[in-house]
Amino acid sequence: MRCPFCKEDRDRVVDSRSSDAGRIIRRRRQCLICKKRFTTYEKIGESFKLYVVKKDNSRIPYDRDKVVAGLQKACYKRPVSAAQVQQIADKVEESIFQKFDKEVSSAFIGESVMKHLGAVDNVAYIRFASVYRNFSDAGELIEEVSHVIAKTEPLEQLTLFNYKK
Ligand SMILES: [Zn+2]
């Protein structure tokens, strides 16, 4: 696999995972020449790169590590295990690969993360939503929070606003 950094074609596979019920294989690779790591996705024999289209229409390679990092930040000190974070990332990837092959909007990824994270932990959901949606005014955030509070334990309501970016 051609290295995206130095363009050499020698690498080793560091880690493999499948998603979309085994139809997609994600391989973490390390270039043997420059030692940098990159990720490829293979779908029934073919390999492809998925790009994320950001709000300003720029495109960057999809990176699972960024999804996981966002989840970890949202789940900081919450009762969500590392395995659960990986499972949420798997579900997000499944939802992406069911619909998109070459490009996916950052908005779709964000909404998918919120959907799957919300099913696991409400406080983490609010943290992620407040960062991701970058609420322009307090009213929007309060609306989102009250929506979630409706299905949250009373004790958790008290801790909702303790999170600082
Ligand atoms: Zn390289």
pLDDT in tens, 102-122: 899 998 999 999 999 999 999
CA distance 59 to 62: 9
CA distance 159 to 161: 6
Spell out which residues have Cβ within 5 A of ligand 1, the ion: 3, 5-6, 8, 31, 33-34
Cα–ligand 1 centroid distance for 37 (angstroms)? 8
Angle at 121 between CA 146 and CA 62, to 5 degrees: 105
Chain segment 42-59, per-residue pLDDT in tens:
765 556 678 999 889 999
Cα–ligand 1 centroid distance for 144 (angstroms)? 44
Cα–ligand 1 centroid distance for 52 (angstroms)? 22
C-alpha R_g of the chain:
18
